[in-house]
Amino acid sequence: MSDTAVAPTPAPTPAAGSSTGSAPAPKSNQVLRDIAGGSVVISILAVVLALIVGGILIALTDENVQAASGYFFSRPGDTINAIWVSVSGAYGALFQGSVYNFGALDFAKGIKPLTDTLTFATPLIVAGLGVGLAFRAGMFNIGGQGQMLIAAAAAGWVGYSFPLPYGLHLVLAVLAGIAGGAIWGGIVGLLKARTGAHEVIVTIMLNYVAVYLVSYMLRTPGLLQAPGSNNPKTPAMLPTAVYPDLLGPGYNLHAGLLVSIAATVFVWWLLSRSSLGFKFRAVGINPNAARVAGIDVKRSYVTVMLLSGGLIGLAGVAQVLGTVTTGFSSGIDAGIGFDAITVALLGRSKPWGIFVAGILFGAFKAGGFSMQAGQGIPVDIVLVVQSLIVLFIAAPPLVRAVFRLPTPGVAVKKKPVALSKAVAAK
């Protein structure tokens, strides 16, 4: 699609009739719409496919499998058995570490993995919402890491600095975190709106700036470093600023989950019930049309990045005030900023989809650690599976080809697209 292709498209639109038809809009939007337009089946199959590939990797690198494969042709059963043991052991540990531990004595203990999953999911959901919201407005926010770090620094500073009454302190700390993330994200929106700087580059660069800024503050007494300590680490949060435990001290689950649920409802409301969200979606689908319709596209870029940064900021807050309340160091973002991209893609940039995707990836995180502890399989396999899921989901034709699926519905849908593209590429 080149620039000249833009002009003739309005002509075939009445014939094509679908919003997908008039699509010389920016490629990212088109692709995101393609992602959103796929079916739930593809998502599930993508997860299955990714797990299969992960299983192959686990089997290939397993020592018992390698040993047994040495005499594969004399006793193939041994190899198959070893593969079964290694893969089922890995995924069994993944399941028991993320949903229900069958080895536990009672239900209260057995269900703990599920609460861990939800704890891991808490920041993933809000950060995914932030990335997804930016997606819907056609912006690609890879700056989750930086936004989380700045938010964590802001929330953490409020959280340990002044003694304040219960409730007020928590609210203030959370607001500080949101503001920190929103500022770091807002810079990107502002630069994009004012100078046209590509948000991908700016967010990547701001990630590094934030990492170095926060690590400087962490090792400088008087800024974020705990007094009397030489470690680059902050003091512990005051108890007044910490998210309360939801299920008592035996579990890690904290009230950040409620914030994540509230944020999901908010983003759902924003995108599907508010005029601001309508503007975002219009800008995301086709900024040119949005401009013609009288929407201030540049202002939308700034606003959506502020909101996106604020939401991702909530993830930093959840880390600092919920998961790690004993003071944090520069690794507090724990890669969530990047995981959020995959969460948003898996959730098809829809609030409830992101919610489910966040819980799934939370389960991968929780289970990955117990898999590493129990089966000795490096937690990094989870990264592989996650990225494969996103790759497969982004390319539905590939998944369909692998599973020999027909393309129901899509074939009907695709025709007008092809027609208009043919016209557009004229």
Site for other proteins in 360-389 (CB under 8 A): 377-378, 380-384, 386-388
- Residue from 220, 229, 231, 407 in contact with other proteins (CB under 8 A): 220
* Residues of this chain, 282-311, that bind other proteins according to CB under 8 A: 287-288, 291-292
* Residues of this chain, 114-153, that bind other proteins according to CB under 8 A: 140, 142
- Please count the other Cβ atoms lying within 10 Å of the Cβ belonging to residue 31: 11
* Contacting range for other proteins; rule: CB under 8 A; set: 111-119, 148-156, 212-220, 271-279: 212-220
In the shown chain, the binding pattern of residues 231 to 270 toward other proteins, with x for contact by CB under 8 A and - for none, equals: ----------------------------------------
- Asked if residues 341 and 129 have their Cβ atoms less than 8 Å apart, the reply is no
- Residue from 18, 39, 61, 407 in contact with other proteins (CB under 8 A): 61
- Asked if residues 161 and 176 have their Cβ atoms less than 8 Å apart, the reply is no
331 near other proteins, judged by CB under 8 A: no
DSSP-derived letter for residue 6 is G
- Asked if residues 224 and 157 have their Cβ atoms less than 8 Å apart, the reply is yes
* Residues of this chain, 385-414, that bind other proteins according to CB under 8 A: 386-388, 390-391, 394-395, 397-398
- Asked if residues 351 and 132 have their Cβ atoms less than 8 Å apart, the reply is yes
Cα–Cα distance for residue pair 364/242, rounded to 1 Å: 26
Phi, psi of 286, rounded to the nearest 5 degrees: -160, 100
275 near other proteins, judged by CB under 8 A: no
197 near other proteins, judged by CB under 8 A: yes
* Contacting range for other proteins; rule: CB under 8 A; set: 91-99, 106-114, 196-204, 319-327: 196-204
Q: How far is the CB of 377 from other proteins (least distance, A)?
A: 7
- Residue from 12, 55, 277, 367 in contact with other proteins (CB under 8 A): 12
- Asked if residues 55 and 87 have their Cβ atoms less than 8 Å apart, the reply is yes
Q: Judged by CB, which is closer to other proteins: 259, or 344?
A: 344
200 near other proteins, judged by CB under 8 A: yes
Matching residue, tokens 């496919």: 49
- Residue from 157, 338, 355, 364 in contact with other proteins (CB under 8 A): 338
Q: How far is the CB of 223 from other proteins (least distance, A)?
A: 11
> Facing residues of 225 across strands?
221
Matching residue, tokens 């990492």: 211
Mapped onto helix, strand or coil, the DSSP state of residue 225 is strand
- Asked if residues 271 and 262 have their Cβ atoms less than 8 Å apart, the reply is no
Q: Judged by CB, which is closer to other proteins: 256, or 353?
A: 353
Q: Judged by CB, which is closer to other proteins: 359, or 381?
A: 381
* Contacting range for other proteins; rule: CB under 8 A; set: 67-75, 116-124, 215-223, 358-366: 215-223
- Residue from 41, 57, 80, 183 in contact with other proteins (CB under 8 A): 57
Q: Judged by CB, which is closer to other proteins: 325, or 370?
A: 370
Q: Which residue in 214, 223, 146 sits closest to 181, CA to CA?
A: 146
Cα–Cα distance for residue pair 118/180, rounded to 1 Å: 25
Q: How far is the CB of 211 from other proteins (least distance, A)?
A: 9
- Asked if residues 156 and 224 have their Cβ atoms less than 8 Å apart, the reply is yes
Cα–Cα distance for residue pair 111/95, rounded to 1 Å: 12
Cα–Cα distance for residue pair 182/192, rounded to 1 Å: 15
